[in-house]
Amino acid sequence: MRKMVKMSLAAVMMMGVGSVSVQAEGTDILSNIKTKGEIRARYEMVEQDAKDNANAFTNRLTVGVGADLFGTDWLKAYAEMTDVRALNENYNSTTNGQTTHAVVADPEQTRLTQAYVDIKLGKPTLRVGRQMINLDNQRFVGAVGWRQMFQTFDAYTLTCNSIENLSVFASYVTQVNRVFDQETTSGQRDTRTLLLNASYKVMPELKATAYAYMIGEGTAGGSHDTYGLALTGDVAVSDGVKLNYRAEYATQTDPSLENSGYNGAEVKADADYMNFELGANVNGFLVGARYEVLSGKDGSADSTPFQTPLATLHGQNGWADMFLTTLAGGIEDISAYVGYASKDFGKLQVIYHNFQADEAQAGEDDSYGTEIDAVYSRAIPGVNNLSGMVKYASFDAKKGTSAYQIDVDKFWLMLTYKFASK
């Protein structure tokens, strides 16, 4: 609590200097200073087979400051601190020693989550330093914003939109700062990783995105190269009726990049991914379906499960987070959703998942289980920039011999307040 109070006071102080310029010998070192931040309080309950219930009350405070450098309009800097505090210890944070409780991966920590310099080279921009990276739907690369601590990347990133309808992204990553405590081996990983992503808007109803993610050693899911293509778009059928779709395929192959000091063991990867989504919004009523396959081991020598170690995984295969690592048999996820969304009502959505193995493994059933997820979120009336969320996930396992085949129920209550200087 003491750290939380200190950071809150620091936020208030920075809010007061939003229009101040820092000068040295007549030159504005820092100008156009702006601050922003977020306070996110959350209760998370986890009921899991063979574990004591987790009841976690946590808070995330994020404060960021950005400024122009040396009076230029082409050189900018941004720095951001994030503090995660727990009001109790009735959960396994992964570092608090409460191992009899179910895991809620929100350990107490304070971290420099972002610190970078942007150099504008005409329309292209080079970003150097610690940064968040969210690509497409975050299936392969994301900041894991659902957890209280972000996942960030120490990287050199070039973005360019010089050609109309074409967006190009390239980033060389030297370190991945995961959501776990950085004092542990899980929290910080050195790597050599190259992320390439280019999208072209062919027409209003079609965008094509090609990507190559060459992930080196040091990541949780091992090293590999992933090459893929996604077709996405929104199609207005009539007034008040809009369709959206996604068709995607990717393949995973042996890694091109390895760390210095690599131990020389040959790493193999051979896997495939496909995803087909179709949704509709009819005057605010939402309905849709998704078929996604992450391939599993098929018995051949080089076959491996399809892994996505840099992804924001919470929003992918069920909110119970049962499949944060792809199982040996892979994952076949068939899901459907219904809901309603409007400015005054907020958003209500219910999702049903049926999980199967892509490749049945010896001694295991090819059915993993089913899951029902539900969420309601909206802005809180009468308070600017304050929003609330109620969320639920229930995974019903197909019983077998594997450790992952357990029933899990999760429930969240969350309030988020955002602030910024004028």
Domain residue ranges of the chain, discontinuous segments joined by +: 1-84
Residue type, 379: A
Per-residue pLDDT of the chain (422 residues; tens, 9 = 90+): 444 444 444 444 444 444 455 665 656 788 899 999 999 999 999 999 889 999 999 999 999 999 999 888 899 999 999 999 999 999 999 999 999 999 999 999 999 999 999 999 888 999 999 999 999 999 999 999 999 999 999 999 999 999 999 999 999 999 999 999 877 766 678 888 999 999 999 999 999 999 999 998 766 667 899 999 999 999 999 999 999 999 999 999 988 876 544 555 667 889 999 999 999 999 999 999 999 999 999 878 788 999 999 999 999 999 999 999 998 899 999 999 999 999 999 999 999 999 999 988 776 778 899 999 999 999 999 999 999 999 999 999 986 656 567 899 999 999 999 999 97
Beta bridge partners of 119: 75, 126
As a whole number of angstroms, the distance between CA 372 and CA 344 comes to: 26
* Torsion angle, alpha carbons of 84, 59, 317, 196, to 10: -50
Residue 119 near residue 125, CB atoms below 8 Å: yes
8-state DSSP, 101: B
As a whole number of angstroms, the distance between CA 216 and CA 255 comes to: 7
366-370: long-range contacts at Cβ-Cβ below 8 A with a sequence spacing of 24 or more?
366/329, 367/398, 368/322, 368/323, 368/327, 368/331, 368/397, 368/398, 368/404, 368/405, 369/322, 369/395, 369/396, 369/397, 369/398, 369/405, 370/395, 370/396
As a whole number of angstroms, the distance between CA 206 and CA 140 comes to: 21
Rg from Cα positions in the chain:
22
* Torsion angle, alpha carbons of 332, 138, 122, 165, to 10: 50
Of the candidates 247, 220, 216, which has an alpha carbon nearest to the alpha carbon of residue 233?
247
- Give SS3 for 184: coil
Q: Residue 123 burial (CB < 10 Å; 0-12/13-18/19+)?
A: exposed
Residue type, 95: T
Residue 395 near residue 322, CB atoms below 8 Å: yes
Number of helical H runs and strand E runs in the chain:
1, 19
